[in-house]
Amino acid sequence: MEDTVVKSAQKINHGRFHNKYRGSIYRGVSRNGKAWQILIMIDTEKIYLCTTNDPDQAAQLYDVAIVQAKGLSSKVNFKYSKDELLALLFEKSIVQVKKEKVEQDQVKQRKLFGIYQHGRTEPKPEEEEKPSSIDSSSDSQKATSLHLFLNKLKNETSEEQQ
């Protein structure tokens, strides 16, 4: 039997009418019209990820994103073993995919409307060749701490196998 590394934390609903009229039983998942949307909080910033028709799938996507962003200190919807957690951490970051999509959409909008920096109607030659970077120092620090955590987890796993 595998040990649980990250345990689920039950979502706290405030207000006596909250359960009847709105929201989800899952953390980070809320109703948006007919679909379920996924929002994560990193520092004080809300990041919208996507919508889906299935609340369970939305909760799993939330778990992947929050574990990748905050590590083991994050509150998740489901329990995860060490192997499941490693699989989650090695998946492509949902937040990074979202940032890339937003960046691509902005470039398409600029090309469509002919809007570039300083009122130019044509892009600078290097603007099309170099994609702009969204990384900040806090992102690089999180990536470094995630890398150190993964190495530690790999070492523990390899020691257990030997």
Task: State the average pLDDT over residues 126-130.
Answer: 51
Distance from C-alpha of 53 to C-alpha of 36, rounded to nearest angstrom = 6
Q: Write down the residue that tokens 């990384």 correspond to.
A: 135
Lowest-confidence segment of 8-22, 84-98, 144-158 by average pLDDT: 8-22
Number of separate domains in the chain: 1
Going by C-alpha positions, the residue among 35, 93, 33 that lies closest to residue 66 is 93
For residue 38, give both structure tokens.
């996924």
User: Looking at the chain, how many residues does it have?
Assistant: 162
Task: State the average pLDDT over residues 2-28.
Answer: 64
| Mean pLDDT, the chain, whole residue set | 72
Task: State the average pLDDT over residues 28-40.
Answer: 90
The whole domain housing 49 covers: 4-161
* Highest-scoring range by mean pLDDT, 20-24, 61-65, 126-130, 136-140: 61-65
pLDDT tens-digit series, residues 50-87: 888 999 988 988 888 888 888 777 888 988 888 888 87
Q: What percent of the chain has pLDDT over 90?
A: 4
3-state DSSP assignment of residue 146: helix
Distance from C-alpha of 83 to C-alpha of 88, rounded to nearest angstrom = 9
| Calculated CA dihedral for residues 140, 57, 88, 160, nearest 10 degrees | 150
Distance from C-alpha of 69 to C-alpha of 106, rounded to nearest angstrom = 24
Residue 86: the pLDDT is 80
Distance from C-alpha of 27 to C-alpha of 162, rounded to nearest angstrom = 38
Going by C-alpha positions, the residue among 158, 6, 161 that lies closest to residue 81 is 6
Residue 138: the pLDDT is 57
Lowest-confidence segment of 15-19, 64-68, 87-91 by average pLDDT: 15-19
**Angle (nearest 5°) at CA 111 between 109 and 116:** 90
Distance from C-alpha of 27 to C-alpha of 79, rounded to nearest angstrom = 13
CATH number for the domain spanning 18: value is: 3.30.730.10
